[in-house]
Structure 1
Amino acid sequence: MDADKPIQTTDAPGPEGETKKAEAAAKVVNHLPEVRLVVVGWRWPGKSLTGNTIIGREEFRLERAAEFCVKRETEVEGRQVIVVDTPGWFSAQDTPPSYKQEIVRGASLCPPGPHAFLLVIPVGMFSELDRSRIEEHVSLFGERVWRHTIVVFTWAEVLRTISIERYIRREGKELQWVLEKCHRRYFVINNCIFGEHPQVGRLMEKVEKMVADEGGHYNPEEVEPEKKPLDENQNPARDVRELGARPKQGSGVGLSKAMEVEPLSSE
């Protein structure tokens, strides 16, 4: 069976008005036997911890900054789930070219291509430089990658009584730009809950719906090669995209960095 095609049901649909039956049937139609995910983001926003939450155990190491992609597999509600954790990019300095190459390689580790890129963003102050860094690194996969990207908000518990919708409105046009590029697809994950939890199943359903809406998975072969100038030595603007962003202020990133190095609770 083709792992990229949803499992189709041959049952006739129920009578009109049976909303619950219709929703259940839709889930069956969209159900993928295999879900392939690539996790991207900054170095310390809870990116690897998000991978561990999906896997359900500590597979991605948190105590050091990874320089290479790591691939792990698990099963979630009858689906085989493949998660590729990529090197995090830097907030306050340039991302080395070798790291960028390794980030792009992550898409080739789950052939024929990932169903979704999970762009991990910590809840906190979101600036124009943050948006620029996201655009710089996500665009490494080509413009079509946005059709297969879901924003995953981490550390949302710092919002307390503020809803994620209100937070998104409060942060203004820079965060709105990212969400519009992702067709307003986002998910809030609680990485303090480790092990089996309904939130992972709901994330898988969101990925499956995106695959159904976009007509399949991301194809790494569709990425256009970067055009190099005829004479790189006479192109002083070639390093503009390497400009680093300042560290976030007042965000949950500092908290996440401290929390990531601590043992995860099995509760």
Structure 2
Amino acid sequence: MAANRPSQTEAGDSPGPDDEARKAAIAAAKLANRLPEIRLVVLGWRWPGKSLTGNTIIGREEFRLERAAEFCVKRETEVLERQVIVVDTPGWFSTQDTPPSYKQELVRGASLCPPGPHAFLLVIPVGMFTEVDRARIEEHVSLFGEGVWKQTIVVFTWAEVLRNISIERYIRREGKELQWVLEKCKRRYFVINNCIFGEHPQVGRLLERVEKMVAEEGGYYNPEEVEKEKKPLDKNQNPAREVRELGARPKQNSALSLSKAMEVESLSSE
């Protein structure tokens, strides 16, 4: 048996011509897709995860976590020779209607990085994903028009609570509601660890994912082009109004329980 096993060199310690060509092609594609400036808008719920993701990308604490933001906040930095602009938006509630003023501010976020964002990062914390969660996402993302999905990447946070469960298994386990969201954005997703702060390869990989999407979809989201297709905000329109189960609920005894507690505290103080 051992006689038929290839040596370490034959098995791939020394890459062959095909491996070298493949690596060269990948490097060339990344170089061709590279953008000098990347504009991002972060979307999600009103509790830690969304703003934390913005801080992770920026590499420093720029977006406040103590209280849910009511207004968009724009910050800029340089990452791997790219100028990166991040707009953090007001988050939506899990079980309450989002005020029309919050929705208007949410939509305004796309105009804060002209001529338009390259990507919307839809932040979803790992946990129990329900029909309410899907409805909330559809309700708020649709404010930007149907075309926004072409520029959207799902960013999973708090994946550390899965321990030995892969993100692929988690997605399958959560069923059709989460599958619906991923299908809308052509199954583009990224897992970010917000416990790792500062310089880290994950931010570079996320930016490469954005550049790849821009190359595939062509360009960026233009707020002016979709203005005509958007419907006026209706404070009485909410597909999840009558549903009473909690949305985006963290798993019991997980780190997300603290985040949910912070959201409740924030709501009670308003």
TM-score (norm 2): 0.83
Per-residue CA distance 1:226-261 (angstroms, 9 max, x = gap): 168xxx9xxxx953436166434443542345699x
Q: 1:245 to 1:192 in 2, by over 3 A?
A: farther
1:129-168 → structure 2 map (5 Å cutoff): 129-168=132-171
Give the alignment of 1:26-37 within 5 angstroms.
26-37=29-40
1:74 match = 77
Amino acid at match of 2:50: K
Secondary structure of the residue aligned to 1:239 is: coil
- Aligned equivalents of 2:76 and 2:262: distance in 1? 24
Which whole-Å CA distance do the structure 2 matches of 1:187 and 1:144 have between them?
Answer: 20
C-alpha change, 1:227 and 1:103, in structure 2 (3 Å) is closer
SS in 1 for 2:83: strand
Shift of 1:16: 7.0
Task: Name stretches of at least 5 consecutive residues in structure 2 with no aligned partner.
Answer: 1-16, 264-270
**What is the match of residue 8 of structure 1?**
none
Corresponding residue number in structure 1 for 2:218: 215
Offset of residue 47 of structure 1: 0.3
Which among 237, 240, 249 is matched to residue 239 of structure 1?
237
CA distance in 2, matches of 1:45, 1:88: 10
CA-to-aligned-CA distance 1:26-48 (integer Å, 9 cap, x gap): 11100000000000000115100
- Normalised by the length of structure 1, the TM-score is 0.84
SS at match of 2:76: strand
Counting only pairs closer than 5 Å after superposition, residues 66-105 of structure 1 correspond to structure 2 as 66-105=69-108
- Other-structure match for 2:131: 128
Larger Rg: 2
Residue-pair matches, total: 239
Partner residue of 2:198 out of 195, 200, 204: 195
Task: Read off the aligned partner of 1:225 and give its amino acid letter.
Answer: K
CA RMSD between the two structures: 2.1
Instruction: Tell me, yes or no, if the aligned pair for 2:157 and 2:191 is still in contact at 8 Å.
Output: yes
4+ aligned runs moved over 2 Å, structure 1: 237-242, 244-260
Q: Which one of 50, 55, 58 corresponds to residue 52 of structure 1?
A: 55
Is the CA contact 1:133–1:245 (under 8 Å) kept in the aligned structure 2? no
Look up the equivalent residue of 2:90 and give its one-letter code: P
Give the superposition deviation at 1:225: 3.4
Report if the CA contact (8 A) 1:95-1:242 is conserved: no
Q: Matched residues in 1 for 2:53 and 2:181: separation?
A: 19
AA matched with 2:105:
E
Contact 1:55 1:73 in 2 (8 A): yes
Change (3 A) 1:250 1:36: closer
Which amino acid counterpart does residue 208 of structure 1 have in structure 2? E
